[in-house]
Amino acid sequence: MNDMSPPGAISSYSVRDGIAVLAINSPPVNALGFPVRKALDEGIRRAVADSAASALVIRCDGRTFFAGADIAEFGGELKLPGLNDIFAVIEGSPKPVIAAIHGTALGGGCELALACHYRCALRSAKLGLPEVSLGLLPGAGGTQRTPRIAGVAMALDLIVGGRPISAAKAETAGMVDRIVDGDLEAEAVAYARQLVTEKAPLRRIRDMSVDLDLEAAQAAITTYRVAHSRQFKGFKAPGHIVQAIEAAVTLPFDQGLAREWELFEELMASTESGAQRHLFFAERAAGKVPDIGRDVKPVDIGSVTVIGAGTMGSGIATAFLNIGLPVTLVDREQQAVERGAANIRKTIAGMVAKGRIAEDEGGRRSALLSTSVDLPGAVSGADLIVEAVFEDLELKKAVFAQIDAAAKADAILASNTSFLDLDAIAAATSRPEQVVGLHFFVPANVMRLLEVVRGEKTSDVVVATGMALGRKLGKVAILSRVCDGFIANRAMAPRQAAADALILEGPLPWEVDRAMVEYGFPMGPFQMVDIVGVDVIGWDRENSAGRTVQEVLCEMGRWGQKKNGGYYDYDEERRAQPSPVAEKIVREMAAKTGADQHRFREPEIVERLLYPVVNEGAKILEEGVALRASDIDVALVTGYGWPVWTGGPMFWADSIGLPAIVAALDATIGADAVSPLLRKLAAEGGSLT
């Protein structure tokens, strides 16, 4: 009765105790591509026809239940059977079909489970409909079955929020019927046996009605729309999801399903979804370093010493404590380390207070922290030493020489420098091959971007360890070669320069900021400068002579938010108002330049500020600082809040068309400043991504 499936076959069919078991094996995540759909269709039909089987269990081999549709298939022609065809066979089966879930049942995988008559799941399993993060909606009945089984509010949370829920929560919501421990297949077969013995009805979620009355459901939807309007901004999918759930409430199942498909297809064709799917694959590509083979194994890091107890050092220490590594925080003065340690404990206590971690977990993390003012003593036993002292090359070289003298032979020596020459820092040690850049973004325990900087002599193992650490920290690690500013800061620097130049041609700082916020950034360049400090963004105090708006502001002591005034004025609650003082300075400076003053429309401001970023990105690419264009996209999306729905600067540039960008750059920054790579691609009809 059992299949003699060859090892590695995509499916196997067996009958255990009168119950058919169809197991799918399509690594890495059992995505529901055409071969899997075909195997499912055949296997289900076989079980229906099999007189030896009175029920069917569908499960997966490997690390997870189906992780969804095969995203790589999107955009091409869909080969039949589609998921809805398969689900119709399941729902039409005269024998109960039971999903047996482990790992993560996501997207189409979760939808498949909901099309089954019953669902059992390992306690550790998760269920989710994360299509929203690909700019899509569940297109195989997820928006129609979820509100029927779990209610409208839960469906909205699950599908618009996109975050998977635990098996226990899914059980409470009615999405899982039984939680099991131990051997999933054996437990699922026993459960199926029980259902058969008890003559349990064939429960089809499609036949259920949404539990709220129409008015209450629509009120819930309206409330949700209003409450989340900010979060929806720029994205197409959330609004479409709400419409699809509305259809579940107002239409019969089949019509609702048809409406869902219509909305799904609209999203699939949208630039926003194209951008989000690009970022999905871009994030996964970022971790791969082509010239470092799989045989190069990252070193296990068991302890970390962080040097420098300021904001950056404390944030970095917190990030490592969060993954359970013991950290020693070092600074020159006792007071400084104590202040740093207090800040770290406060951050951890904040996580406990917000319910992000349990109290005992908070205690465990805090207990992993120790402090020291004795640098040699603190680094001597550490596997990884991260330097986060002031951005001064001589200071960093001196610190590295000290570390070199005390650290054990195989320790990894990392610098958090954000723009200094890592090779010069490495040259201050006797082991440049052990030196790497780990460039965190503020706040280091929160921001997802980690730039791993590969020096001239950094060894492959050390690079591989840096990349692996990034993943362990829950960050996206992007590999960068050494250059001024590495990838993210270097690519974004031209935006600030363009903004500084533009305010001398007519637009005021807040008009420039508004254009950036409308484009989708969390804030504009002048808002950012005010927060970071007008004085710290390259102000040369000794040589300041009122030549630029920044110099005048700094000379007046208008250093930004910390001084209650910079480009903006601030009230006691730090709310920003356009500053008449700054406006006067800008107008006077503009008059001095003699530049033609005129109004700019928002799209023009966007072009003036962001095309130079695309240009710098192309230079970063042609110099080999970044491995691939998509790494630049991921770096700016995760490090600078570049809007996700544009796909990052390089994808955005492709979606606009490179010839138009080159023409605009020629006219603004001048032909000589345009990247040769960008010009070549534009001329050849090529693309960056």
Give catalytic residue positions: 111, 131
CB count within 10 Å of CB 172 equals: 13
Site size with ligand 3H9, rule: CB under 6 A: 25
Nearest CB to ligand 3H9, comparing residues 132 and 341: 132
- Helix H or strand E encompassing 120: strand 118-122
Nearest CB to ligand 3H9, comparing residues 241 and 425: 241
Give the pair of three-digit tokens for residue 25: 């094996």
Buried b (16+ CB within 10 A) or exposed e, 616-642: bbbbbbeeebbbbbbbbbbbbbbbbeb
- The reply on whether position 31 binds ligand 3H9 by CB under 6 A is yes
Distance between first and last Cα of the chain: 50
Nearest CB to ligand 3H9, comparing residues 127 and 462: 127
In angstroms, what is the minimal distance from the CB of 85 to ligand 3H9? 11
- Helix H or strand E encompassing 106: strand 104-106
DSSP state of 10: S
Q: Which of 21, 36, 67, 267 binds ligand 3H9 (CB under 6 A)?
A: 67
Q: Which of 11, 54, 93, 104 binds ligand 3H9 (CB under 6 A)?
A: 104
- The reply on whether position 284 binds ligand 3H9 by CB under 6 A is yes
Contacts of 340 (CB under 8 A, 6+ apart): 309, 310, 313, 314, 317, 329, 331, 371
Span interacting with ligand 3H9, options 133-141, 197-205, 246-254, 357-365, rule CB under 6 A? 133-141
Contacts 24+ apart (CB under 8 A), 573-577: 576/527, 576/530
Q: Are 649 and 633 in contact (CB under 8 A)?
A: yes
Residue listed under structure tokens 């068309």: 657
- The reply on whether position 267 binds ligand 3H9 by CB under 6 A is no
Q: What are phi and psi of 36, to 5 degrees?
A: -70, -40
Q: Are 477 and 471 in contact (CB under 8 A)?
A: yes
Q: Which of 98, 116, 120, 140 binds ligand 3H9 (CB under 6 A)?
A: 140
Q: Are 14 and 58 in contact (CB under 8 A)?
A: no
- The reply on whether position 256 binds ligand 3H9 by CB under 6 A is no
Q: Are 638 and 448 in contact (CB under 8 A)?
A: yes
- The reply on whether position 272 binds ligand 3H9 by CB under 6 A is no
In angstroms, what is the minimal distance from the CB of 166 to ligand 3H9? 14
Q: Which of 29, 317, 528, 626 binds ligand 3H9 (CB under 6 A)?
A: 29
Binding mask 191-210 for ligand 3H9 (x = CB under 6 A): --------------------
Span interacting with ligand 3H9, options 114-122, 132-140, 387-395, 573-581, rule CB under 6 A? 132-140
- 193: burial class by Cβ within 10 Å (0-12, 13-18, 19+)? middle
- The reply on whether position 274 binds ligand 3H9 by CB under 6 A is no
- The reply on whether position 139 binds ligand 3H9 by CB under 6 A is yes
Q: Which of 43, 68, 96, 466 binds ligand 3H9 (CB under 6 A)?
A: 68
DSSP state of 329: E
Query: Alpha-carbon distance 213 to 197, whole Å?
Result: 36
Nearest CB to ligand 3H9, comparing residues 530 and 633: 633
CA distances from 405 to 280, 383, 433, 455, 661 (A): 43, 15, 15, 20, 51
Give the pair of three-digit tokens for residue 458: 């950094």
Q: Which of 72, 168, 393, 536 binds ligand 3H9 (CB under 6 A)?
A: 72
Q: Are 56 and 42 in contact (CB under 8 A)?
A: no
Span interacting with ligand 3H9, options 16-24, 69-77, 238-246, 580-588, rule CB under 6 A? 69-77
Span interacting with ligand 3H9, options 26-34, 169-177, 374-382, 447-455, rule CB under 6 A? 26-34
Span interacting with ligand 3H9, options 67-75, 179-187, 300-308, 490-498, rule CB under 6 A? 67-75
Query: Alpha-carbon distance 287 to 95, whole Å?
Result: 45
Span interacting with ligand 3H9, options 103-111, 453-461, 530-538, 657-665, rule CB under 6 A? 103-111
CB count within 10 Å of CB 57 equals: 28
DSSP state of 543: T
Q: Which of 138, 147, 524, 560 binds ligand 3H9 (CB under 6 A)?
A: 138
- The reply on whether position 147 binds ligand 3H9 by CB under 6 A is no
Question: Contacts with ligand 3H9 in 535-594 (CB under 6 A)?
Answer: none
Interface with ligand 3H9 (CB under 6 A): 28-29, 31, 64, 67-72, 83, 104, 106-108, 111, 130-131, 134, 136, 138-140, 142, 284
